[in-house]
Chain A
């Protein structure tokens, strides 16, 4: 026994020195001397010499001049990689994709080909009928309680709006308490569905959304109001609009544009995805630099094709673009976006 312990200690000592000190130090020496760029995280610098990012780690872009990376379940936090972990059967996955699609999806065929669907979603929403039944918002809240609750919890202004509602609808709340003896003092999330049901009845064809008003003094205030158009409606109700219009041909969007990656930091998008974004990017740079849009589009298109690569030269997969690399090139070529 004591012999075993002594030998175990020797083994642990030898192994730790060799595997945890010698081996990593040797690789560190090689990495830092032969491959210093990669060994320090593939960090690239901007024009002012400050590090702007890692070529291997996705970072967010909000301006239309830049190509967008894939959506990130980690909010592009390079210190906390994360996937969505949403199962196919989880409605949250479908909802996330549908809300992204609503404002940007376009018709495929016919006289509408290439036109945005969004205005039609608003018109359909204002009619307030889904599957032949009245009250879209009511049906939405009934079918997706968790989304209704998430709306209430999403923002302090949302919570404030619902709190005000409970004050002006004391009888509705009392009725809810009577019907649900289990929750004598309902929280806002408990009341979310009832709130939307009442809201839908009182404001047919409308949805609560943030509206900014600017008064005569130039001071702007943002408040929640019932509205009958806007991005919130286009995104929230796209899935229901689609169910009512299942046979209308729509342009498919690239899959990688709508799905989150495994790490949340995938630095690549497919060339197909980049080409889908090309019109927007080129138009914006053309406006910024006051040049002809087709010229800029051709230039950027050429850049994409130069930078595209495929895993194992295409044996294993499709052509990809490194988002930061291309955006950095655009920034260097055209200057700062306006």
Chain B
């Protein structure tokens, strides 16, 4: 039973906290909060007046461009900046491009390792600034959509909205969490590393001079970094191994708080949506649908990973032979024998422990894996590459659906798209004009929703197919067979879902600009995933804002007998069905080629 205690506690705690939080969020974003005079000065400085949707989106793009330039400068000038105790150089240009795009869009897919490649200055001024600002941008996108739905006379002001999100929401919570993190053991220093002589001198080996080697322990301003990484569903690790690293996640308590922190705002935003529209019951229905999907992914991951052994170490008594097409073999077919293997004497009652940390609890790795993709955080506290093959389907499905609470605002926006499509289809089936919030959904709105929705699969499937067929992908794979394909599919799913977790074995690290031995195909990976990230971030924010603006401009139809009610269980099932059917139609083939093939195929695969 202990296995389920942790996920249940996380889900219940977050749900309870989300209610008061959503009330607070709506209160702030509706401008009912009167800031003290000192803080009002900042708002007045930032206020550029009321904006329509085009101006609002325009401001967002201008600000993002500025954020891109700023991030690029910080990383490119790293060798010249202070707080660089270990003298780290400049990253390869393509990696800088990729990292800046990735952090600016709340994706935080990392083709570098923070502990090896970034100075504390870069971690703070590049990482931390983007944590706050990129999360706020998605948040503001959702608020703009809500105001458009309400047919407000204007959408508010982008800059004021951003400021309010950062100052009144993220900062106070991050600060409180930061104190807990440092108390629990996360370092909070501007030093870069501490040199320690190991307890057993020379256990790390000896230097060329014959002296015992010291262990170099990288430290840094972790306690400021990590809470915001989680709260903003950013997920870009200070260390290469992210929240699996003992400084980034020192205890079971910080792991619990990391989970709650990343889910808190996605949960709260769904309820805020209902409060601001004064349709709280509608929000409950959406919340329930998301919760059903989330529970599904958690149970799947925990059952197949924490309750099942790692199949690589167990017995597979059936010897098999496979025939594979081969141009050189006689008869055009080559026979591949897969010998039987016996079980190794390993006690696996704690499930698959490869790539797991011990201190968080037995089911913590699998639980975190499911939650981090559902809310598109992308931090990891275990190695996803080493998850049991079938358990790895859970994080992949989370990224493919991309609407199980989802990132800051963006997940809720994606769910809106599914809703519009679902209502449109249902309306067509029963022969009634489809309506949402009393507004008729016309061809233009449905088209915009479809564009925003189809960007995601296109941006996953095309590059995955292309890379899987060429050296760009094949030379980057680190595991054989179907799992190698999964690595490629996972990387693009993560990029397109603006998630940021990865199957870390994939060779995509270019390293410093003067690295003599970068991963062979790192440059195409940097550039293509960078482009995928940009397209999959901005189209699904801009198109829905436009759609909401067009919809909001229409006259409200009176509530009638034929209106499809959006606050009933029926609507919930309609929504659930839409998500599952669209998701399955788009992604089942990838699932079959990747994790399912690995699970059903021979293990171990090849020599």
Contacts and interface: CB of A to CB of B under 8 A. Distances in A.
Contacts of A32: 188-189
B311 A88 contact: yes
B358 A256 contact: yes
Contacts of A266: 246, 357-359
Given A39-B182, A312-B361, A90 B479 contact: yes
Nearest to B478: A85
B433 interface: no
A126 interface: no
B604 A90 contact: yes
Contact of B247 (A56, A98, A272): A56
A101 B342 CA distance: 14
Given A53-B196, A57-B215, A88-B386, A318 B362 contact: yes
Given A10-B45, A97-B313, A255 B159 contact: no
Contacts of B341: 94, 239, 243
A93 B381 CA distance: 20
Nearest to A312: B252
Given A14-B46, A41-B187, A90 B312 contact: yes
A254 B606 contact: no
A85 B487 CA distance: 10
Interface string B340-374: 11111111111011111111111111000000000
Given A16-B125, A83-B504, A62 B2 contact: no
A253 interface: yes
B252 A10 contact: no
Nearest to A22: B171
B481 interface: yes
A320 B200 contact: no
Contact of B67 (A12, A239, A255): A12
Interface string A239-268: 100110110001111111011111111111
Contact of A81 (B113, B185, B362): B113
Interface residues on A, range: 35 or more
Contacts of A239: 341, 344
A228 interface: no
A85 to B, nearest CB: 3
A27 B362 contact: no
B310 interface: yes
A188 B18 CA distance: 62
Contact of B159 (A10, A78, A146): A10
A31 B188 contact: yes
Contact of A94 (B159, B344, B352, B385): B344
B359 A262 contact: no
Contacts of A263: 239, 241, 244-246, 357
B189 A42 contact: no
Interface stretch (A1-9, A157-165, A209-217, A287-295): A1-9
A317 B163 CA distance: 41
Given A145-B607, A266-B357, A8 B62 contact: yes
A57 B199 CA distance: 12
B422 to A, nearest CB: 36
B215 A78 contact: yes
B128 A59 contact: no
B167 interface: yes
A16 B133 CA distance: 9
Given A84-B354, A94-B313, A27 B193 contact: no
B598 A85 contact: no
B197 A27 contact: no
A331 interface: yes
A255 to B, nearest CB: 5
Contacts of B189: 28, 31-32, 39-41
A207 interface: no
A4 B603 CA distance: 57
A256 B362 CA distance: 11
B115 A80 contact: yes
Contacts of B339: 131, 143, 243
A76 interface: yes
Nearest to A322: B359
Interface string B210-232: 00000111110101100010000
A8 B67 CA distance: 9
A259 B185 contact: no
Interface residues of B, number: 134
B302 interface: no
A28 B224 contact: yes
Given A27-B223, A84-B386, A242 B129 contact: no
Interface string A114-144: 0000000000000000010000000000011
B27 interface: no
A38 interface: yes
Nearest to B390: A88
A303 interface: no
A317 B317 contact: no
A80 B240 contact: yes
A97 B198 CA distance: 26
B312 A146 contact: no
Contact of A253 (B218, B245, B345): B345
Nearest to A53: B196
Contacts of A131: 339
A324 B199 CA distance: 8
Nearest to B228: A19
Interface string A22-48: 011011101110110011111100100
B510 interface: no
Nearest to A5: B62
B603 A81 contact: no
Nearest to B174: A23
B215 A85 contact: no
A227 interface: no
Given A5-B62, A78-B218, A79-B218, A27 B179 contact: yes
A223 interface: no
A317 B364 contact: yes
Contacts of B352: 88
A94 B344 CA distance: 8
A233 interface: no
A7 B46 contact: yes
Best-surrounded residue of B128, B175, B198 (most CB of chain A within 10 A): B198
Contacts of A39: 182, 187-189, 223
A270 interface: yes
A163 B250 CA distance: 49
Contacts of B197: 46, 50-52
Nearest to B603: A89
Interface of B: 2, 5-6, 42, 45-46, 48, 58-59, 62-63, 66-67, 70, 86, 113, 115-116, 124-125, 128-129, 131-133, 159, 162-163, 166-167, 171, 174-175, 178-179, 182-191, 193-200, 203-204, 215-219, 221, 223-224, 228, 239-241, 244-247, 250-253, 256, 310-313, 315, 317, 339-350, 352-365, 380-383, 385-386, 388-389, 478-483, 486, 503-505, 598, 601-607
Interface of A: 1, 3-5, 7-12, 14-16, 18-20, 23-24, 26-28, 30-32, 34-35, 38-43, 46, 50-57, 59-63, 66, 70, 76-91, 93-94, 97-98, 101, 105, 131, 143-147, 239, 242-243, 245-246, 250-256, 258-270, 272, 311-312, 314-318, 320, 324, 327-328, 331, 337
Given A30-B182, A255-B350, 6 more contacts: A19-B129, A51-B195, A82-B241, A87-B479, A89-B482, A246-B342
A-B interface, 4 closest residue pairs, ranked by CB to CB distance from nearest: A316-B361, A262-B244, A85-B505, A31-B188
5 contacts: A19-B133, A27-B188, A270-B358, A317-B361, A324-B199
